[in-house]
Amino acid sequence: MSIPGYVDYKRREFCKDVKCRIQLELEKHKEGSEEYERIRNICKTDCIYTTYQFHHWLIEKGYLIVRPEK
């Protein structure tokens, strides 16, 4: 759900911006191929970046992390 006047984070935007070596390898393969899925699994289970790095990247880029009130 987008907030009017704001843009949503795009899938793998961080990975592409920091030129993650895993992302660069992933881009060499067709989405859905066996090799693509093998490499993608590295991102799912063994990301080489930390949540700390990702969080601070979000802040530097002006992203807001929001959730609805309960």
Q: Which of 53, 64, 67, 65 is nearest to 14 (CA)?
A: 53
| Average pLDDT value for residue range 1-6 | 86
Number of domains in the chain: 1
Degrees (nearest 5) of the Cα angle 60, 20, 31? 115
Domain residues for the domain of 52 are 13-60
Average pLDDT over residues 33-50: 95
pLDDT at position 24: 96
Specify if 70 maps to a domain. Answer: no
The pLDDT of residue 61 is above 80: yes
Q: How far is the C-alpha of 29 from the C-alpha of 42, rounded, in Å? A: 14
Q: Is residue 1 part of a domain?
A: no
| pLDDT reported for residue 47 | 94
Query: So what's the pLDDT on residue 16?
Result: 96
Averaged pLDDT, 5-28 = 95
For residue 46, tell me if it sits in a domain: yes
Instruction: Please report whether residue 4 resides in a domain.
Output: no
In a domain, 68, yes or no: no
Q: What is the pLDDT at residue 67?
A: 87
**Is residue 20 one of the residues assigned to a domain?**
yes
